[in-house]
Amino acid sequence: MKVLITGGCGFIGSHVQDHYLRAGYEVVVVDNLSSGKKEFLNSLANFYQVDVRDFSSLERIFLKERPDIVNHHAAQISVVYSTRNPQEDAEINIKGLINVLDLSVKYSVKRFLFSSSGGAIYGNPIYLPCDEFHPVEPLSPYGVSKYSGELYVRYFHKNFGLDYAVLRYGNVFGPRQDPYGEAGVVAIFGLNMLQDKECFIFGDGNQERDFVYVEDVAKANLLLTEAILGKEREFNVGSGVGTSVNRLFNIMKDITGYKREPVYKEARKGEVYRVYLNTERIRRMGWSPSVSLEEGIRRTVEHIKQGN
Ligand SMILES: NC(=O)c1ccc[n+]([C@@H]2O[C@H](COP(=O)([O-])OP(=O)(O)OC[C@H]3O[C@@H](n4cnc5c(N)ncnc54)[C@H](O)[C@@H]3O)[C@@H](O)[C@H]2O)c1
């Protein structure tokens, strides 16, 4: 089986790539390297530096590689950037996705996997943990583009028979996450704590997130590539529990030996206050997270120490 992974040089996509290779898949990676890194590319993968907005270049890849599975991770991932540049967010996250969907139908792809966001599409939850039936009310253009993406995937399924699964991730963390961005709090705290720099918390720090380790997310991708699926095609992928940023800070402080207190700043616009996910649906498929928050943080900190 051959899988084409868009965004395969990114944080999550690169782990997904490694898991597919370990499971015996042939892997083709398409990435424009806007945030991804060539060094995350597995030497066994076939790589094309192409933008998902470039339909004709993408088509040449589909024609040559004829993938069985398409796993779409390429995206503009910043909530803050999306609030300032909603057009560009939509160009990449919606139009880029439509290109990949179009070609997946044209070249008879057997299953399409789409990475959505459980943290961004439900908005400020009316009940917790959010299950897949929770009303959708995104607070940012990023959340809107991710949920629009889901609707397009469903449209291509209903109208052209494209088989699919949607993964709605919580806050994914682990090695290879960019510590220099404005998202990815574990990577950012990790680097700042190891370098004895200030750590900023936006808001009062009681905001809660569902932290899930990247290897567990990669396993969920593999499971949903191979599982026999019924009507339920959207899956929350998270730990199922909320962890406040203050608690996260204290756990990381203990692990790194950091001595300072956090610096509190104004809450950021477009961000949800509390969200964590009901993961019963994917657990029924045989998935559960295997790496605890503490263990995941230890592994991430080790990687940052090694200059990941
Ligand atoms: N990190 C999280 O907690 C999280 C949570 C929910 C959903 N997601 C989704 O998971 C996916 C991967 O996120 P990530 O955290 O690994 O981010 P990332 O930025 O590390 O990965 C995105 C990858 O896509 C590539 N890319 C971006 N625009 C592209 C384009 N126009 N054409 C081709 N490649 C392009 C980047 O170079 C990068 O390699 C995204 O779809 C994101 O929306 C992530």
pLDDT value of position 308? 52
pLDDT value of position 12? 98
152-204 pLDDT, tens per residue?
Answer: 999 999 999 999 999 999 999 999 999 887 779 999 999 999 999 999 999 99
Mean predicted confidence (pLDDT) in 61-86: 96
Domains of the chain by start residue, with CATH: 2-171+212-237 (3.40.50.720), 174-210+240-305 (3.90.25.10)
Q: Round to the nearest angstrom and report the end-to-end CA distance of the chain.
A: 31
256-266 pLDDT, tens per residue?
Answer: 999 999 999 99
User: What CA–CA distance (Å, rounded) separates 126 from 200?
Assistant: 28
Q: 22: CA distance to ligand 1 center in Å?
A: 22
pLDDT value of position 179? 86
- Which of 48, 142, 147, 258 is catalytic? The answer is 142
210-242 pLDDT, tens per residue?
Answer: 999 999 999 999 999 999 999 999 999 999 999
Residues with CB under 6 A from ligand 1: 6-7, 9-13, 31-36, 51-53, 73-77, 92, 96, 115, 117, 119, 169, 171-172
User: What CA–CA distance (Å, rounded) separates 71 from 116?
Assistant: 12
Name the 3-class secondary structure at 283.
helix
Mean predicted confidence (pLDDT) in 56-76: 98
97: burial class by Cβ within 10 Å (0-12, 13-18, 19+)?
A: buried
Ligand 1 pocket test target in 34, 113, 178 with most atoms within 8 Å of CB: 34
In sign, the C-alpha dihedral spanning 131, 134, 138, 144 is: positive
117-137 pLDDT, tens per residue?
Answer: 999 999 999 999 999 999 999
